[in-house]
Structure 1
Amino acid sequence: MKKLSLLLASTATALTFSTAARAADAELTVFDWAGFEDQSLIEGYVAKHGQLPTYAFFADDDEAFQKMSSGFKADVAHPCSQMVSKYREADLIEPWDVSRIPEYGNIAPRFKDSKIFADDGGVWFIPTDYAYTAVAWNTKDVPEADVASLNVFKDPKYAGRISLPDNTDDVWSLALLATGVTNWTEVTDEQFAAAAAWLREVHPNVRAYWSDPSELSQLMASGEVLVAWSWNDSIALMREENFPVGFQRTAAEGASSWFCGYVNFKDAPGNEDKAYDFINAWLDHGSAKGLLANFGYAHSNDAAMAAIPAEELVAADVNPIDGTLLAQTPIDHAMRERMLEEFELIKTGF
């Protein structure tokens, strides 16, 4: 596993300097989540070019899009699926030439089945990684029965001891699931209102809205937080430190699944050939092992995943589950903006 101290250092860099770059190969700038400047994900690139690309970091998808649309320059970036249409509509990206990406055919079809990702104009998005957002809980102090339902976040017993993500997509996936919605591409006004009301009811219980996995890990390790809505990597960090944490992906109302990948910017400043070397290294089978070991995430390349023993997938909580999943696929822009604005109001107590 990636040591907690290393991820904390990466996160601190990202939060302090935002888009300040970690300089390496000046001919390729990668705009990425903090912590993803990990050689195990792109061994082929380093073997060919002798160093990592230059990395710049962001803390969430909305921040990344705002910076790119405001003129920040990078060659490739790592958004999650629901953001791709925004990059396309802003005319910031160009299609990938998949004839130059041999492993593209091994990416699971479920990650490519959208005209937002691929259409007559080409392939706009290369999916690379996926995982879950579900209930993390302190197994020493919280009975497993308490996390059998997402209503644990409303339980007065845990007032001031829960944490939710400071992330529009994840927090609304929770609220929608908790109020009976499993497909967020068709949310009615009534369903939106019910989910917003649920979040407002939960808000007084929230100790903190976490912004990155290391922050959540610290909150839970300190004992301040007992229950959280979490990604897999927070779980991996805590388990590495032998913290007693569980990951409930089969609560009665369900859990959320998401996937991310890379887009290729138009008029990028770097070397286009190196952008393809980068994505080909990411899709290599060795990357799947590094992704699972260092982040607790699964890889979009089905052939690469097939080479990983099933018990390792179970241990990382990325094995398939029987239960309800809300897939964080692209949604209508107007609805997502509405979610973003409403969440900001909720966080400030309105």
Structure 2
Amino acid sequence: MQIKDKVKAFHDGALSRRDMLNGLAAIGVGVAMAPILPRTARAAGSDAIYFTWGGYDIPDLFKPYIEKHGEAPSFATFGGSEEGLTKMRAGYVVDVSHPCNQAVPRWVATGLFQTADPSRLSNWSDVIPSLYELEGNMADGRPYMVPMEWGQTSVTYRTDLVDLQGEPESWGILWDERYKGRLGSLASAADAWWVGAIYAGVDFENMASDEAFEKIAAVMREQRPLIRTYTDETTSLEQALASGEMVAAMTWNESAAALKNQGLPVKFAAPKEGALTWVCGAMIHKEAPNIDLAHDIIDSLISTDTGKFLIGEYGYGHSNAKSFEAFSEEDLAAKGLSSNPNDILAAGKFQIPQSQEFETRMNQEFENIKAGF
């Protein structure tokens, strides 16, 4: 889909903001995107740069920052956090970047990042502690990653087309032979492989062992003939679920929220085995040239204004506990959330950081499986 088609699809409601931005990036078009240049090519005193996923480079997340500084920070985007880290290791200096919890120890190990100063964040006292007290994230009482959004990877399914036969919701929906060719999956091993681990009964603490690896690979190969589509363009999964072409798919909260907003009979499952849970946030580059603005960027990201937007528009949880007060329990439940976020977080399964060797092996094996090998 070319530029005009993507923009039109977005305006027609057929494409989410995130998928539009990701798609434009894929064909070489940046939206409010700062040039990716080495530190020496940047002018002193230039605006702070927020290096983030496509879809998060939007003013909606920066209302407090804009009120204070008159405009949003400059944006640069990456398609995946490993891509972003690779660019920074090659010399690209930004002020703030946007990883997720399983990547934090590997990011910290590069020596490219500094901890944030909570005393400079007016919203810090409202941040949910369990979201920053993660493995490898704290140093001398200060966080490397200040959490912003969190969510779950689970099964979005058509309640009128999937028969649970009186059984609890389960990841088994995506391994159900009855629905062969009518199931969808996210294409990234960063989600799918971990879901395979949950379904296979592999403890995340033992993910990297050869025995666990082969057990996960076996269930992923078992699933492969049942899957109609592997994709990270979530709009295509949503459209297939809306039409009935698919009856269930592995998705993030956002897809279930979008389909419910269209009045479709869908549910974001709470699998008996546990949903895959993740949290992402902001890290400050060690050589950030705008340290004051960097903290202002983070303070905006963890504000209630940003939280209300992410919960209402993207269906994600937010790190600021007060953000949930703007929504009824019914509204939150429909998004797979709760007024007590710790209820959801405790019921899920947080990814555990792994070595680079494991990440490489996992991605290579999953690509082979998707290709039919």
TM-score (norm 2): 0.83
The answer to whether the 8 Å contact 1:169/1:328 transfers is: no
- Whichever residue aligns with residue 110 of structure 2, its letter is A
User: Which residue is 1:77 aligned to?
Assistant: 97
User: Which residue is 1:326 aligned to?
Assistant: 349
1:313-344 CA-to-partner distances (Å, cap 9, x unmatched) read 21221123599532123234433333222212
1:153: how far off? Answer: 2.0
User: Which residue is 1:22 aligned to?
Assistant: 32
The reply to whether residue 283 of structure 1 matches residue 283 of structure 2 is no
The runs of at least 4 consecutive aligned structure 1 residues that moved more than 6 Å come to none
User: Which residue is 2:240 aligned to?
Assistant: 219
The answer to whether the 8 Å contact 1:147/1:248 transfers is: no
The reply to whether residue 174 of structure 1 matches residue 176 of structure 2 is no
The answer to whether the 8 Å contact 1:253/1:324 transfers is: no
User: Which residue is 1:138 aligned to?
Assistant: 158
Structure 2: unaligned runs, 5 residues or longer: 1-10, 35-44
Find 1:39's aligned residue among 59, 62, 68. Answer: 59
Q: CA RMSD in A?
A: 2.7
The reply to whether residue 153 of structure 1 matches residue 174 of structure 2 is yes
Distance 2:190 2:178 in 1: 26
1:300: how far off? Answer: 1.2
The answer to whether the 8 Å contact 1:42/1:282 transfers is: yes
CA distance 1:53–1:217, change in 2 (3 Å): farther
Task: Describe the SS at the equivalent of 1:17.
Answer: coil
Q: Which of 156-165 and 307-316 deviates more?
A: 307-316
1:175: how far off? Answer: 0.6
Q: Which of 119-128 and 134-143 deviates more?
A: 119-128
Distance 2:88 2:315 in 1: 28
User: Which residue is 1:208 aligned to?
Assistant: 229
Task: Describe the SS at the equivalent of 1:207.
Answer: strand
User: Which residue is 2:293 aligned to?
Assistant: 274
User: Which residue is 2:278 aligned to?
Assistant: 258
Distance 1:194 1:36 in 2: 36
Find 2:366's aligned residue among 320, 343, 349. Answer: 343
Find 1:305's aligned residue among 316, 321, 324. Answer: 324
Distance 1:275 1:226 in 2: 44
Distance 1:76 1:215 in 2: 31
1:169-206 CA-to-partner distances (Å, cap 9, x unmatched) read 2112211111113x412334322211110001111222
- Whichever residue aligns with residue 332 of structure 2, its letter is L
Distance 1:144 1:30 in 2: 44
CA distance 1:277–1:321, change in 2 (3 Å): closer
CA distance 1:285–1:323, change in 2 (3 Å): closer
CA distance 1:185–1:65, change in 2 (3 Å): farther
Task: Describe the SS at the equivalent of 2:160.
Answer: coil
Task: Describe the SS at the equivalent of 1:27.
Answer: coil
The answer to whether the 8 Å contact 1:45/1:281 transfers is: yes
TM-score (norm 1): 0.88
Find 1:65's aligned residue among 85, 90, 95. Answer: 85
Distance 1:6 1:201 in 2: 31
The answer to whether the 8 Å contact 2:188/2:232 transfers is: yes
Structure 1: unaligned runs, 5 residues or longer: none
Q: Give the number of aligned pairs.
A: 345
CA distance 1:321–1:27, change in 2 (3 Å): closer
User: Which residue is 2:37 aligned to?
Assistant: none
The answer to whether the 8 Å contact 2:154/2:269 transfers is: yes
Distance 1:63 1:210 in 2: 18
The answer to whether the 8 Å contact 2:206/2:212 transfers is: no
1:288: how far off? Answer: 1.5
Higher strand share: 1
- Whichever residue aligns with residue 257 of structure 1, its letter is T
1:103: how far off? Answer: 2.2
User: Which residue is 2:122 aligned to?
Assistant: 102
Distance 1:6 1:177 in 2: 29
1:306: how far off? Answer: 4.7
User: Which residue is 2:8 aligned to?
Assistant: none
